A and B are shown apart, each in its own frame.
Chain A
């Protein structure tokens, strides 16, 4: 269950940034999670409460922006939506592609007090 490591990573970033800003706690956290990032939102939500306990995030509102997967075929330049990392080019069927977006795993912003 790597979602626990991910959640604890988010807590660490939040603790560091809150301290740097000389703030007390986080009132809202904005996350960006790509559909191809390998993180299951259900699992993340499942471990969230225990991960943020006793941290600056304990009472924070959590907002998750989901970023859709998009790829670009290396053989024919077609851009296409990706649901899975192994999706092939819809036009020429090639497996060779660059991933344009969807791998994100980011803390975008913290609202602190």
Chain B
């Protein structure tokens, strides 16, 4: 099994594809697999010396991901790339927000997009339709993106200097919170249909995010969600969160979000 991506075997590992590429091509997902060898020392187990040795290693289990995330961060900084990691439950509107943002700002800002999903090129194809350079990472059984996948994808995307890199994580409010990708800002998206107590049900994601987008506000007349209550729960988890209330469908509230984006690319 693969220690970094959780794949059962290499054919189940993440694939990194551009729209139009063949799906059966196994991606350039390169983490070291040299430790995958099995131990077939069955016939040598008869030494009874019992020399147990204790290795006090004190090693952080996520260290490998963190080291590679730091490498990504350095790369982004050197190239003046502003990178965002978009996280949410499935269907909160990550791709829809990207579609509208890219359509409205692409003449002003160079964008690049990395799409993460377990399967399909659907989201990458939606971005590709806007003529924005995009790459799809299919994580297979994995339920989140990790920093080595981003490193490979960024190289394949050939991201130019002074750009915004949007990374849409796998729709999942739990484990992407633990895996730093080296992004500049983490953006958690919650839609008005999800209930105001999401932030305390999935606190880790809100705790590790910088920005909280509340999407689908066009549906407010049909719902009895209390937005202030939602924000208060979110602030209880993370008092530093900054909010944007938007509708990717109608475009309402997008201006404040655009202003914030532009402020971050010079």
Decide yes or no whether A15 CB sits under 8 A from chain B.
Answer: yes
Decide yes or no whether B55 CB sits under 8 A from chain A.
Answer: yes
Given the complex of chains A and B, what is the CA–CA distance between A9 and B5 in angstroms?
9
Q: How far is the CB of A35 from chain B (nearest CB, A)?
A: 12
Question: Contact residue range for chain B?
Answer: 35 or more
Decide yes or no whether A27 CB sits under 8 A from chain B.
Answer: yes
Using CB atoms, name the residue of chain A closest to B35: A15
Complex contacts, B200 vs chain A, CB 8 Å: 84, 86
Q: Is the CB of A5 within 8 A of B39?
A: no
Given the complex of chains A and B, what is the CA–CA distance between A52 and B266 in angstroms?
48
Complex contacts, B39 vs chain A, CB 8 Å: 24-25, 54-56
Contact A2 B3, CB 8 Å, known A27-B52, A86-B203:
no
Complex contacts, B239 vs chain A, CB 8 Å: 95-96
Decide yes or no whether B231 CB sits under 8 A from chain A.
Answer: no
Using CB atoms, name the residue of chain A closest to B3: A12
Contact A2 B178, CB 8 Å, known A86-B200, A106-B61:
yes
Decide yes or no whether A111 CB sits under 8 A from chain B.
Answer: yes
Contact A109 B61, CB 8 Å, known A11-B1, A16-B35, A86-B237:
no
Residues from 1 to 54 in A contacting B, C-beta threshold 8 Å = 1-2, 4-6, 8-13, 15-17, 19, 21, 23-25, 27, 38, 51, 54
Decide yes or no whether A67 CB sits under 8 A from chain B.
Answer: no
Q: How far is the CB of B116 from chain A (nearest CB, A)?
A: 14
Decide yes or no whether A108 CB sits under 8 A from chain B.
Answer: yes
Complex contacts, B215 vs chain A, CB 8 Å: none
Q: Is the CB of A107 within 8 A of B57?
A: yes
Decide yes or no whether B67 CB sits under 8 A from chain A.
Answer: no
Q: Is the CB of B59 within 8 A of A106?
A: yes
Q: How far is the CB of B233 from chain A (nearest CB, A)?
A: 8
For chain A, what secondary structure do more than half of its interface residues adopt (helix, strand, loop), or is it mixed? Answer: mixed
Residues from 60 to 92 in A contacting B, C-beta threshold 8 Å = 84-86, 88
Contact A12 B4, CB 8 Å, known A5-B142, A85-B204:
yes
Using CB atoms, name the residue of chain B closest to A104: B60
Complex contacts, A109 vs chain B, CB 8 Å: 54-58
Decide yes or no whether A100 CB sits under 8 A from chain B.
Answer: no
Q: Is the CB of A13 within 8 A of B57?
A: yes
Given the complex of chains A and B, what is the CA–CA distance between A96 and B240 in angstroms?
9
Given the complex of chains A and B, what is the CA–CA distance between A50 and B175 in angstroms?
20
Given the complex of chains A and B, what is the CA–CA distance between A51 and B233 in angstroms?
36
Q: How far is the CB of B89 from chain A (nearest CB, A)?
A: 15
Partner of A9, one of B51, B62, B233, B237: B62
Q: Is the CB of B60 within 8 A of A106?
A: yes
Interface 1/0 per residue, B223-249 and A, CB below 8 Å? 000000000010111010000000000
Q: Is the CB of A112 within 8 A of B55?
A: yes
Given the complex of chains A and B, what is the CA–CA distance between A54 and B197 in angstroms?
42
Most central of B61, B143, B204, B207 by chain A CB within 10 Å: B61
Given the complex of chains A and B, what is the CA–CA distance between A55 and B62 in angstroms?
19
Partner of B174, one of A2, A95, A108: A2
Given the complex of chains A and B, what is the CA–CA distance between A4 and B204 in angstroms?
18
Decide yes or no whether B251 CB sits under 8 A from chain A.
Answer: no
Partner of A107, one of B61, B146, B236: B61
Q: List 8 A-B contacts (CB under 8 A).
A: A4-B6, A8-B6, A9-B3, A11-B3, A24-B41, A86-B203, A95-B236, A111-B53
Q: What 7 A-B pairs come out closest when comparing CB atoms? A: A2-B175, A12-B3, A86-B237, A95-B239, A15-B35, A8-B3, A5-B6
